[in-house]
Amino acid sequence: MALRSRVARFTDVSFAVPGASAEAQGTFNVLNEKIDFHGTVKIDANASQQTSGIKSIFAKVLDPFFKKKHGSIVPVKMDGTYDNPAFGLDLGSGKNETPSSH
């Protein structure tokens, strides 16, 4: 972590829970509490296996885009503020590729 001009930069944040692990990098502004993190989540199952019903049918269409040898790797982002974070897919931004891209 580095702190410059009231912005903390995190280059290697990771955590794991049973069935999934995540890696991210990003910034936190200590003055206005804005967050901007990008990374990937590795899920031990395919996207279509994580849901049921009609959602699983639509998710099967997405499986080839995120599928790796075992499970799926999904690009994710977290932005907003500390009190009101927003989470979502990070498609096409390129920010989840390397820590130096921020």
Tens digits of per-residue pLDDT, 19-41? 889 999 999 999 999 999 999 99
Instruction: Please indicate, yes or no, if residue 21 is contained in any of the structural domains.
Output: yes
The count of domains in the chain is 1
Instruction: Please indicate, yes or no, if residue 6 is contained in any of the structural domains.
Output: yes
Domain, as residue range, for 57: 2-89
Question: Is the separation of the CB atoms in 45 and 52 below 8 Å?
Answer: no
Residue 64 phi/psi, 5° resolution? -60, -25
Query: Pick from 88, 71, 58: which is nearest to 18 by CA?
Result: 71
Instruction: Please indicate, yes or no, if residue 19 is contained in any of the structural domains.
Output: yes
Tell me the whole-structure pTM to 2 decimals.
Answer: 0.64
pLDDT of residue 101: 41
